[in-house]
Structure 1
């Protein structure tokens, strides 16, 4: 990042958003047509500001525009919450999704993802999390008599030094089963996929194996297993069983052989791990599965520090838009860390940003780089 910039910290933070791409999307979707005041550039800044400050309603966001610095940043002196509401409900989700994917591509380049994966096998972790909604306002998302919700299906790239970031997302109603998403998320043979029991599908496991995709997942303890061969283990290994198996009943049995590992987690619970990798140590397989915790931490971080608990709009489009804006914010924090080679956590980066939002960008940059400001 340019340390000697006249930009505010806020402007510097969102500068990775590709402006030519942004303008092309606005033009393609005709988002500024018949607009007299709330242009997309201004609206995008308001949505990013709302995520940073966890603004809970469009009325509160409308009131925030009285802040002089926010007026200068957006070019707005005031805006009604009804205008904000119309905007969030009418913008196609593809607009925010494309911006999100462009930021992911930037992170790929910054982390040398394409080059590194030739040396090591990056992990891609697949999981989902349900975001509850108010049943009265979101009847389109009803999945129980008393509940509404959407489910965020996510693929997280996990690399060394704890770096992780989302690179693909699908939003569905909460009653959508996880298992059907494997076909969407498994598309790169140079990676290792990690997922939990919700994705168990023996036929899909066979297909992945035949197509050359590698995975580690958790098998239910009551699964029918036929052991073909047992492998020896080092005495100090946390894994106490390593076997070649066929899974399923005679009527619904896998066509390929798999590897079944049994071990205890940190709480003393027995885990049964299934994989189609036979060329790496059992301990490494166990360690790979433990990395699945990174996606749990991601969901926890989003729900605690981004605004996806209360939604600005009632339509499906408005809800999906807000979730994508939240993921855009997360990616901007990842890029801030990468661009400054910072060892600060995403939470620290976000906190320092809020504290210096309207100050010169170099103050924020030096802080997250770990340098003191004179």
Structure 2
């Protein structure tokens, strides 16, 4: 793994002011979704609804929709959210009245500001060049579940579960594209289909470089059809394979005109790392349930760490899992980089796992407040807004302890001086 990122921005009074913008930011939504209210009776506006969800995100004690509704009548919360106490019925109905996409503009604005801040801070990831760093996008999806009491009232067709697909820019540590799909996915292909659709419709919120994006993917995305689409769109990828995926391309026979690209020689550093094979392959129809084979050169790198080499007692015994306990098989279109460079780049796929851990364990989105897809989308948009504001305020260096101090600050238990001291503290 490369060196830890440099801290980009020290937390300051400006950071605290940035956190205080969380509720005023939503003021632009005040009249949104009230078009059908011709008589002017609607009291719960979109801005207040989204603000109440943010109150729940910044207050771990509010673990359910009923808890948020009960707290909505408190004086400080009414002042922050710009509305009166709401009822359970109004809060539940709001998820189907308001359009989640109206929050997208706020997310894009904050994301652009955060991306610019990261560029100005000149972050570093080990020996990764700036040109490659800008291209890295880690891709994955995670299942989110409704609270048990809500799930019990949902029809069995989706069982109160959704899959949140996120494309995390490694430079920023936050998503540059995201999509929500209902579970179960169609024939288990949701992840690959969603990524292909995002790329085809150009939904990624960062400029595409001349070399395209470089997607880092786990085995759930292994598909010759998807690889072909990414390559045709001008992108590169590094994706984990099963050990049986791919067929070795044999050198051309005399008289043929096929010219195979030359891969860099396997260095001593790569061998010490555990790289045991670096070869060109073609992917057939059995890769990732795709009936289409690869239409471009695919490089396969196989790495078996020395600590996981077969001992004399285990030789000849077939492993029961797909690739071996620590065996790593990667497919990539990067033909010019050395094997060790490709392996190190793939390690940054962990950024998307860190984002999901932050989303679920820190922001509390492990359980969902709504039984409706639109309500889940609004909650996730609010979570992205909270994540971006925290990143802008702290320079991206946010831990669970620091987030707890932010929550205490919003609750009035910690003042700005104590917040600055806690959030500026460097890890031991």
How would you bin the TM-score normalised by the shorter chain? 0.7 to 0.9
Matched, 1:244 2:283: no
For the Cα contact (< 8 Å) 2:28–2:47, is it kept in 1?
no
Q: Alignment partner for residue 221 of structure 1, among 228, 243, 248?
A: 243
Alignment of 1:1-374 (within 5 A): 12-15=18-21, 19=25, 22-27=26-31, 29-30=33-34, 34=40, 37-54=43-60, 55-76=62-83, 78-112=85-119, 119-122=131-134, 123-133=136-146, 135-139=151-155, 142-143=157-158, 147-159=159-171, 163-176=172-185, 177-186=190-199, 187=202, 188=208, 189-228=211-250, 232-237=265-270, 238=273, 239-248=275-284, 252-264=292-304, 268-338=325-395, 344-357=397-410, 358=412, 361=416, 363-370=418-425
- Whether the 8 Å CA contact 2:33–2:97 is kept in 1: the answer is no
Separation of aligned partners in 1, 2:80 and 2:225: 53
Q: Kindly report structure 1 stretches of 4+ aligned residues shifted beyond 6 Å.
A: 115-118
What displacement does 1:82 show? 2.4
Q: 1:254 to 1:119 in 2, by over 3 A?
A: closer
* Whole-Å separation in 2 of the counterparts to 1:354 and 1:320: 23
Question: Is there any run of 5+ residues in structure 1 with no aligned partner, and where?
Answer: none
Q: Cα RMSD between the aligned structures?
A: 3.4
Deviation at 1:132, TM superposition (A): 2.5
TM-score by length of 2: 0.72
CA deviation digits over 1:252-300, x for unaligned, max 9? 5322111110003687521110000112121111011111122122212
Residue deviations 1:167-191, cap 9 Å, x none? 2110011222211022234353543
Change (3 A) 1:4 1:154: closer
Change beyond 3 A, Cα 1:203–1:220: same
Corresponding position of 2:319: none
Mapped partners of 1:203, 1:39: distance in 2: 45
1:123-176 superposed Cα distances (whole Å, 9 cap, x missing partner): 10111111124553232x735xxx4411101100112xxx51112110011222
SS of structure 2 residue aligned to 1:356 = helix
On the 8 A contact 2:138/2:217 being kept in 1, the answer is yes
Distance 1:102 1:4, change over 3 A: closer
Contact 2:137 2:214 in 1 (8 A): yes
Aligned 8 A contact 2:96 2:372 in 1: yes
- Whole-Å separation in 2 of the counterparts to 1:303 and 1:43: 21
**Whose Rg is larger?**
2
Superposed CA deviations along residues 325-363 of structure 1, whole A, max 9, x for unmatched, are: 22222222111112xxx7x42423321111222365455
| Greater per-residue strand proportion | 1
The superposition leaves residues 60-79 of structure 1 with CA deviations (integer Å, 9 ceiling, x where unpaired) of 11222354432332345633
Structure 1 residue 201: Cα displacement: 2.0
* CA distance in structure 2 between the partners assigned to 1:207 and 1:44 by the alignment: 37
| 1:18–1:37 CA distance, 2 compared to 1 (3 A) | closer
Once the 2 structures are TM-superposed, how far is the Cα of residue 14 of structure 1 from its aligned partner?
A: 4.8
